[in-house]
Structure formats: C-alpha cells, structure tokens
Copies of this chain bind each other. A is one copy, B any other.
Amino acid sequence: MKISPQHTIDEIAAAAGVSKATVSRVMNGTATVSDERRKKVEATIKKMNYRPNLNARKLAGGTGGSIALVLEESTEEFFLNPFWKSVVEGFIEKASSSNLHPVLFFHSKSQSDEALVDALVRGNFDGVAIFGWHRDIKVLEKFVPNNMVVVFGGNQGSSNRFTYVGVENIAGGKLATESLIEKGCSHIAVITGDLSVQSARERLKGYKDALKAAGIPIRENLILEGKFTKESAELALAKFLKKGIKFDSVFAANDVMALAALRTLQAHGLAVPDKIKLIGFDGSDLARTSSPTIATIAQPSHELGSMVAGNLVKALNREAISNIQLNLNLIAGGTLN
C-alpha cells in the first residue's frame, strides 16, 4: 500500500501557484489575500490533505491549538465537588468554541512541580490554565517556557508574569459573616478551608473583618480548621461540639463542608436554622438540593472557568490580558431563616 506523503507548505504553495507566505496567510488569516488565491489555496490544502507541521509552526511563533487545564488537587476531590465540575465545564465550553483543544491534567500532591512542568512542556501546549495552585509560584516562573501562557483560576497576586481570574474571597467571607450577624448571631463559628490555600485565608479574613466591623470580638476557639473536604469538616465540628463552647451559627468556607456541617449538627440534635444558623460558600448544587437548602455565597463558577479560558484565548491572540476579579453574591437558603 502506498504511504500517503506528508506535504509541506512549499508543496502546497507550488501546487497552488503562490508563495508559501500566502499559504501561511490563508491558513492563519493574518493578512488579506485576494479571494481568487484564497480559494485556490484552500482547495489545494483540502485536496492534498495538508496539515501543517505543528513543531515548525510553533517554532516559528505560531500556535499549536491545544491548551492544558491543570487541576491541582486529588482527582477524587474534584469529582466530589460540583463547584469544580461547573468550572471545568465553563472552561471547556469556551476553549472549544475558540477552537482550542483542552486537555485535562490532574496534578496530585505527590507529584513534583517539575514533573508537572515537564509534562506540560512535552505536551506542547500553547497555554495552561491552573486551578487550585497553592505551591510556590516561583517554580513555575523558573521552568515554564516563555512562549507558554499561564492563567490562574483563583487569586495569585504575587506574580507579574502570570495573570489570574479570581473572586472576591475577602468580600465573600465578609458577606457571609454579615448575613449571619444580621440574623442576630454573635457567636459565629467558622470552618475554614485548607489554610495553605490563599482563598481559604482570604475567606477567613473576610470573616474577621465582618466581626471587627460589627464590634464583635474574634474568638479563636470559634475558628475550626478544615481542609475543604467533607471529612475534615465533620472531624473539626465534632471535636468542637464536644467542647461545649457556645455558638449560634456556622460559616463554612465551602459548600461541601457546609453540607457536612448541616448533617453533623442535625445528628447532634441541633436544629438548623432554629438553633444554629448556617451559611456556606460556592453556590453549588449541593447547597440548592440539600434539605433544608443551604444559604451560600455564589461564586460564578461557570464564568470563572470560562473567563480563564477566555484570557488564554486572548493571550494566544496576542491581546493584552490582565487580572480579573469576579464578584460574589449571597444566595438565600433555608439554613439562614
């Protein structure tokens, strides 16, 4: 059987009777080409089944058309949290509609940063979106090639090389806490996220800010350290309940933990919201479908994913991109009545 030859741009140019520059321009739409030649070139490309060599293209400064979506977490955790699902969907939708091929990457905690970068470089991606990163950003700055665009999902203010699409976590934490205060709560327990993650720290700061503004003392024994997971919240809350410390409400730093808290409180005979009021964070399906529904701070998750992809697209088109902060807002729920 004959092996179909791999054509080069020169062959296409020759066959179409134009220069390779023109072929390139037709393929990339980077300059105006007369209708007549454009059609001829397009027909030739199709007829000869030409596919440009991506290595050559990228070497010369072009793009390859695929981007990576890195989720810095254990795979499992992502699938247990509908928030991430929504983020990923938003991302993929936007990327695909911009003709970029998204490839998912799970970066487990056991993997080294170098290994990740290595995989990314080998994968020949034009750009990379990273969600949930909470390691040293310098490693990325050191190893990521200059021609690889990186956009963070989540605030990563410390780098002037990479941009991020973040959410107003501090304002969100404050908003959540304020809504409890408004309901007359004054002994508000908070279940934090993994404090090695910036967003967790920010939400906690919002909590403290709200208390301060309301003139309520910050009690360290009301601050329970969770890790964004169901188990961590259950554990922290169970331990806290044993101590018998007075509290009238709970702010959980994400919905997964809020749901865990709801169940734990109920199991301990603490009626929600009659005895204890509760608010979560994320605005995920979890909050909407529980019984009672959980009040929560809505993160525009779909939009978050989509805007990260959007920034990536822009950057690949050589448009300037900058950091973006998305607003959050309160979603009422049965746990706050």
Contact = CB atoms under 8 A, between A and B. Distances in A.
Contacts of A49: 142-143
Contacts of A51: 121, 143, 145
Interface stretch (A57-65, A70-78, A255-263): A57-65
A3 interface: yes
A4 interface: yes
A147 B59 CA distance: 17
B59 A56 contact: yes
A262 to B, nearest CB: 34
User: Copy number in this complex?
Assistant: 2
Interface residues of A, number: 35
A59 B59 CA distance: 8
Contacts of A59: 53, 55-56, 59
Given A101-B119, A142-B49, A54 B124 contact: yes
Nearest to A118: B101
Contacts of A242: none
Nearest to A123: B123
For the complex of A and B, the 8 pairs showing the least CB-CB separation, nearest first, are A124-B124, A55-B59, A66-B122, A55-B58, A55-B55, A6-B146, A4-B142, A56-B59
Given A4-B142, A103-B123, A123-B123, 14 more contacts: A1-B138, A1-B160, A4-B141, A6-B146, A49-B142, A49-B143, A51-B121, A51-B143, A54-B121, A54-B124, A56-B59, A64-B122, A101-B119, A124-B124
